[in-house]
């Protein structure tokens, strides 16, 4: 199964990268490395991640307070959002539906 990061999720990641890099040089790169590990975990064990609202699932990063929200299709896993967990969930629901 192929994994894609949709443009809106890619924009989320680039924004977070820039913010972390502004805080401390190299921290943005560390963030993206953690995101890469999280994406690999999704590919390896996608059905083990929590369903937050059918059909959306959530994978948490370890070092940073971000979650990747994705939808599993027949042939493609689509990452639809990269979301800082302190943000208002209403902003996320516009992309993935209601979030419990």
Per-position pLDDT tens, the chain of length 100: 899 999 999 999 999 999 999 999 999 999 999 999 999 999 999 889 989 877 889 999 999 999 999 999 889 999 999 999 887 666 666 666 544 3
Q: Can you tell me which residue has the tokens 């994406």?
A: 39
Domains of the chain, residue spans: 2-96
pLDDT of residue 52: 86
CATH numeric code, 2-96: 3.30.2310.20
pLDDT of residue 53: 76
Strand partners, 69: 58, 81
pLDDT of residue 87: 74
Q: Where are the alpha helices (DSSP H) in the chain?
A: 7-23, 27-45, 89-96
- CA distances, 12 to each of 3, 18, 37, 86 (Å): 17, 10, 17, 14
């Amino acid at each position: 199964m192929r994994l894609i990061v949709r443009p809106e999720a890619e924009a989320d990641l680039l924004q977070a990268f820039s913010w972390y890099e502004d805080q401390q040089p190299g921290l943005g790169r560390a963030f993206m490395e953690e995101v890469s590990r999280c994406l690999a975990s999704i590919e390896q064990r996608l059905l083990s991640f929590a369903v937050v609202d059918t059909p959306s699932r959530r994978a948490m990063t370890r070092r940073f307070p971000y979650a990747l929200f994705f939808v599993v299709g027949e042939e493609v896993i689509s990452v639809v959002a990269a979301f800082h967990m302190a943000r208002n969930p209403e902003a996320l629901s516009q992309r993935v539906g209601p979030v419990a």
